[in-house]
Amino acid sequence: MGNKNKTISFRVNEDAFETLREIAEERDISLSAVFRDYVETLVAHDGQVKVVPEHEVNSSESSDVESFPPKVEVPKSFVREHERLELEAEHLREQLDEYKRYVTKLSQRLEEEDEEEVIQLEDLDGGEEEEPSFRLG
């Protein structure tokens, strides 16, 4: 079939539109290309894109401004607990597999021994001498 392009429409105020037009003129590209570049960057970075003016990008590298995307330090106790839970989950998966194999083995044994003599309760009742039935009334 092929990869088909889709159209996205939205509205911006007049000031934002003029700013976007200036950006497109500076880069000597169409206004549509500005949006395509932004969308492609957004998709390539899984939505982790922050649009800032160029002069702020250069100054943020030299200052202690938090990097984007933000990074979080996780305590070692959390990491250890996560690892413990992963090991426990792995152990439970192994137990489940073992129980499944056991059930399969029992099912196969049951199928093989399907020819065993099965005694029905009705047969037991019919084999004995019947007691006389009484009727009240």
Q: Domain boundaries in the chain?
A: 14-54, 74-114
Q: Look at residue 30 in the predicted model and tell me its pLDDT.
A: 85
- The three-class DSSP label of residue 15 is helix
Give 94-131 pLDDT, tens digit per residue: 999 999 999 999 888 888 776 656 667 776 665 555 56
Give 43-90 pLDDT, tens digit per residue: 888 877 777 777 776 654 545 556 667 778 888 898 899 999 999 999
131 token code pair: 């007691």
Q: 46-79 burial by CB neighbour count: b if 16+ within 10 A, else e?
A: eeeeeeeeeeeeeeeeeeeeeeeeeeeeeeeeee
For the entire predicted model, the pTM comes to 0.34
Nearest alpha carbon to residue 50 among 24, 70, 33: 70
Q: Look at residue 19 in the predicted model and tell me its pLDDT.
A: 87
